[in-house]
Amino acid sequence: MVRKTRLTRLVTAIAAFTLFVSIPGSVHAAVGYICRVSYRNSNTHPAFGQAGSLFVETYSQPNCGGTSVEGAYLCSSGGNPEWCGPAQYHMNGDEIRTLLLALQAHAASAGRVSLTTARTDPGGVVYVRHVSFLGN
């Protein structure tokens, strides 16, 4: 009976993972080390908001080591919901700039973050709903 219970748990875990990956809007939290933070201005990517956007990529080890954990966008006000998620998760220009500097500083100190993300519908783009700064 123990073996059957373990198999049931494994199947349930795989089903839950598959459900998150396949259902837009599913919320997911992941902890990782900041590998890359990039800013995209609104002139080249207007769908991501009037004040540009950020892309944050995290890995399981410092300095982009280990495996990729998450990559997600943070959009500014006016971003297209198909690419950025609902407007309540968009930031104004000052917030985007402040967060960019904070993420860059945290990355320089090999800091970890917890990103709460979801996928858009349609499109399946991963966007950030919440960022928590953690220690090393």
- pLDDT for 17 equals 39
Range of the domain at 100: 24-134
Tokens of 25: 């809007």
For the chain, what is the domain count? 1
pLDDT band at 120 (very low <50, low <70, confident <90, very high): confident
Measuring CA to CA, which residue among 88, 84, 89, 31 is closest to residue 62?
Answer: 31
pLDDT digits (tens, 9 = 90+) for 81-107: 988 999 999 999 999 999 999 999 999
pLDDT over threshold 50, residue 7? no
For residue 74, being part of any structural domain is answered with yes
For residue 51, being part of any structural domain is answered with yes
CATH number at residue 38: 2.40.50.110
Helix (H) or strand (E) run with residue 21 in it: helix 2-22
The pTM of this model reads 0.78
